[in-house]
Amino acid sequence: KIGNNTIIHQGASIGQDGFGYVYDKASSMHSKIPQLGRVIIDNDVEIGANTTIDRGSLNDTVIADGCRIGDLVHIAHNVKIGRRTIIIAQVGISGSCTIGEDVVLAGQVGVADHVVIGSKARIAAKSGVIKDVAEGESVMGYPAKPIKRFWRETVALGRLIRNTNSNSK
């Protein structure tokens, strides 16, 4: 289902099966889980070139009003994205995640499955989000941590290395 004033750029793939398998011990094989949900794209959404949005397995994948999604983004099955969220190029969102309203996912962010990112959160480029992010929080790094902590640790590590190098001369 696609809402009004939605722009979908070339090569975008919307509504295909998500990556859903269950391991069968008896046959030692991975069996496909039927993907029965839909993709619902609300109004005033823009979806970049070569972006992939998988349909839900049992629930729907939902992109709310006013979202902006860059090129080469992957949104897996059952993901819910809140209004006015911005997702920049090469982001990957694993299955069953919930992204709040007014969130920014900068380029090349990866989000693990079942993670909840609160409204107005900011995820810095190339971060790996493996646990929930609180509303309004800014995180960075792999694994993602509060941005101030990331920078304090980076500075401390730099000082430690400089001190170690100075002592060895």
Catalytic residue among 9, 74, 77, 114: 77
Residues 127 and 115 sit within 8 Å (Cβ to Cβ): no
The answer to whether 74 is a known catalytic residue is no
Token digits of residue 109? 């962010």
Residues 133 and 119 sit within 8 Å (Cβ to Cβ): no
Torsion of CA 129, 116, 84, 2, to 10 degrees: 110
CA atoms within 13 Å, Cβ hemisphere of 73: 26
| Active site amino acids | 77
